[in-house]
Amino acid sequence: MTFWLLLTVNSITFGGLLFLLSAGFSLIFGLMRIPNLTHGSMFMVGAYLGTSLLGGTSGFTLNFWVAALIAAVEVAILGALMERLLLRRLAGQQLAQVLVTLGVSFMAADLCLMGWGGDPISVATPPHLAGFVRVDGAAFPLYRMAVILIAVVFAVALWLMLERTRLGAMIRAGVDDPQMARVVGIRVSQLFTIVFALGAGLAGFAGIISGPILSVYPGLDQDMLPLALVVVILGGTGSLLGSFVGSIIVGFIYNFGQALLPELAYFVLFLPMVLVLVLRPQGLFGGQIL
């Protein structure tokens, strides 16, 4: 019983992390029509930058949440730079854009190894969340509960942003029909930069938030990118609701697959992605951005 409960809660927590990672991925994919293969790198870079802010390598030690926000902003700036300096040059050439993101992910992984060394860095749980919630003999770490809450808060905030703000309306228009959006006077190129930065920032934020659970280590990028891909393909590109549902589904498949079918864990993880691509290419919630 405890086993099932623990796995279920963990699946939801992991789903929450995946949502933070993949919401931006999905928006970028929906708007620019490319899978951003540096998204895993942004997650990892965010985590590394966060550890530097936390660990005092930059000369001072910050509160966890402040550090997480600063790391997210830093990664967002990196994302904006990448969009401006590289992807912009290749506007309209999707294939070239995908390849560039792949190349940059190679570079980012090596730069992190250079900057932070190969040692795994563990991130301390923020002290006020270090405790447990005890239910029925099982202990659930408070921090993991908090992650679920954060994911929900971000989901609502993103929803409000897309639904209620002018920026959100422009993004929705761009995802629906980029040509039409341009015709009605939306500066699509500027929008690309904003969304790319937003997605990168979210990924970086997810990276440092996941630090106390996953810790930070070389190769984290390659562990996370395929998961984000599965989420977005399952949920449908450009769909916020899709990323949310997809994240929870993948969280469950990932956790229960590892525990119950260890030999086929990756098979059951990627099979739904293939099935969706083949049978319902737009994803479960494709075409519905919210």
| Rounded-to-integer distance, Cα 165 and Cα 48, Å | 32
Minimum gap (Å) between residue 237 Cβ and other proteins: 9
- Helix runs in 133-264, H state only: 142-164, 166-176, 178-183, 188-209, 211-214, 220-235, 240-260
| Rounded-to-integer distance, Cα 216 and Cα 104, Å | 19
CB nearer other proteins, residue 124 or residue 153: 124
Minimum gap (Å) between residue 151 Cβ and other proteins: 15
| Rounded-to-integer distance, Cα 54 and Cα 34, Å | 33
Minimum gap (Å) between residue 233 Cβ and other proteins: 6
In the chain, % helix, strand, coil (3-state, to 5) comes to 75, 5, 20
CB nearer other proteins, residue 13 or residue 69: 13
CB nearer other proteins, residue 183 or residue 278: 278
CB nearer other proteins, residue 35 or residue 79: 35
Phi/psi for 186 (5° steps) reads: -80, 130
Minimum gap (Å) between residue 32 Cβ and other proteins: 10
CB nearer other proteins, residue 241 or residue 265: 265
DSSP label of 280: -
CB nearer other proteins, residue 110 or residue 177: 110
CB nearer other proteins, residue 115 or residue 160: 115
CB nearer other proteins, residue 159 or residue 252: 252
Residue indicated by tokens 């790319």: 196
Residue of 243, 232, 228 lying closest to 42 (CA atoms): 228
Whether the Cβ atoms of residue 40 and residue 105 lie closer than 8 Å to each other: yes
Whether the Cβ atoms of residue 104 and residue 89 lie closer than 8 Å to each other: no
Amino acid occupying residue 151: A
Minimum gap (Å) between residue 120 Cβ and other proteins: 3
Phi/psi for 118 (5° steps) reads: -90, -10
Beta bridge pairs of residue 138? 135
Minimum gap (Å) between residue 62 Cβ and other proteins: 18
Minimum gap (Å) between residue 129 Cβ and other proteins: 11
Residue of 181, 166, 200, 160 lying closest to 290 (CA atoms): 160
Phi/psi for 216 (5° steps) reads: -120, 130
Minimum gap (Å) between residue 165 Cβ and other proteins: 28
